[in-house]
């Protein structure tokens, strides 16, 4: 959590993107200048103890004023007490924010093809990463540089009106492939099956529900391709103190536990002991 700061940030925008899914924009040049794709922040409603604890939210992207980062965008799904109250926050009001937290996505040199695979709310960390990979944006003070020649975005949802930000990915330069459980958007079926229909990319990066990530890890193994996953593990503190977000990982001696907040949230999928975490669920 080196460089993390706790601050009060003013809400600039609150925009509905899809059914029960919103983008909130928070003004904070210091945080916007320090955060990288794949990292997250803890948000807490001010002047209340209900809910008492903050909640983790991935960086969707930073917002520029000219060349200067001045704000961050967070995309969230209304599913619990925190997000039900978060959607009521209006521009001009403020939130308590702690970040940047966690380790970001890996950087590379000249990969031919990267596939970003998202299920449900799992698209949220991938917009900034798309721009970073394609070299159209730099983050945390780094100059833009192209890391991948092609980025494909695979996005699976239950039904069409839950898809959020698709045009953002197209505008960022990703090749977009869509799937839905009921066939109302893109191809009918799982997003992993959609990926399997295409030529294997050089790197697979996933984010979404644990069963999807487990299936993606098996698919990547069959393709003999590396796979990184950003885990949606519930967290209470975000800084490694409470041990509520532990992830079971493989070691040379058997298994061990890593804290998702400070050792992740991005892990090598081949090193995760799937189904081995004592905690399960998605970000509330």
> Per the confidence metrics, is the pTM higher than 0.75?
yes
Residue 112: helix, strand or coil by DSSP? coil
Q: Give the per-residue pLDDT at 2.
A: 56
Would the pLDDT of 243 be above 90? no
**Sheet-wide strand order for 21-27:** 55-58, 40-44, 94-101, 5-18, 21-27, 68-77, 61-65
Q: Give the per-residue pLDDT at 224.
A: 97
- The residues spanned by each domain of the chain are 5-101
Range list of β-strands (E), the chain = 5-18, 21-27, 40-44, 55-58, 61-65, 68-77, 94-101, 114-119, 151-157, 175-180, 187-188, 203-207, 227-230, 246-251, 254-259, 266-268
CATH class of 5-101: mainly beta
pLDDT digits (tens, 9 = 90+) for 133-178: 999 999 999 999 999 999 999 999 999 999 999 999 999 999 999 9
């Amino acid at each position: 959590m080196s460089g993390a700061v706790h601050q009060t940030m003013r809400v600039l925008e609150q925009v509905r993107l899809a059914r029960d899914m919103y983008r909130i924009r928070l003004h904070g040049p210091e945080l916007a200048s320090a955060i990288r794709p794949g990292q997250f922040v803890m948000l807490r409603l001010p002047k209340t103890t209900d809910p008492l604890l903050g909640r983790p939210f991935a960086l969707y992207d930073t917002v520029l004023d000219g060349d200067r980062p001045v704000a961050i965008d967070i995309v969230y799904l209304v599913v619990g007490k925190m997000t039900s109250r978060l959607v009521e926050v209006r521009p001009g009001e403020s939130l308590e924010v702690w970040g940047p937290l966690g380790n970001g996505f890996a950087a590379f040199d000249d990969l031919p093809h990267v596939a970003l695979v998202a299920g449900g709310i799992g698209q949220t960390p991938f917009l900034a990463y798309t721009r970073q990979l394609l070299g159209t944006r730099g983050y945390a003070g780094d100059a833009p540089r192209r890391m991948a020649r092609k980025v494909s975005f695979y996005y699976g949802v239950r039904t069409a009106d839950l898809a959020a930000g698709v045009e953002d990915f197209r505008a960022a330069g990703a090749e977009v492939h869509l799937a839905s459980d009921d066939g109302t958007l893109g191809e009918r079926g799982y997003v992993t099956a959609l990926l399997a229909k295409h030529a294997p990319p050089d790197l697979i990066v996933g984010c979404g529900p644990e069963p999807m990530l487990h299936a993606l890890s098996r698919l990547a193994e069959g393709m003999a391709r590396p796979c990184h996953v950003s885990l949606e593990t519930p967290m209470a503190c975000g800084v490694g103190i409470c041990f509520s977000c532990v992830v079971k990982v493989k070691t040379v001696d058997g298994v061990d536990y890593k804290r998702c907040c400070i050792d992740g949230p991005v892990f090598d999928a081949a090193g995760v002991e799937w189904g081995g975490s004592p905690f399960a669920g998605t970000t509330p």
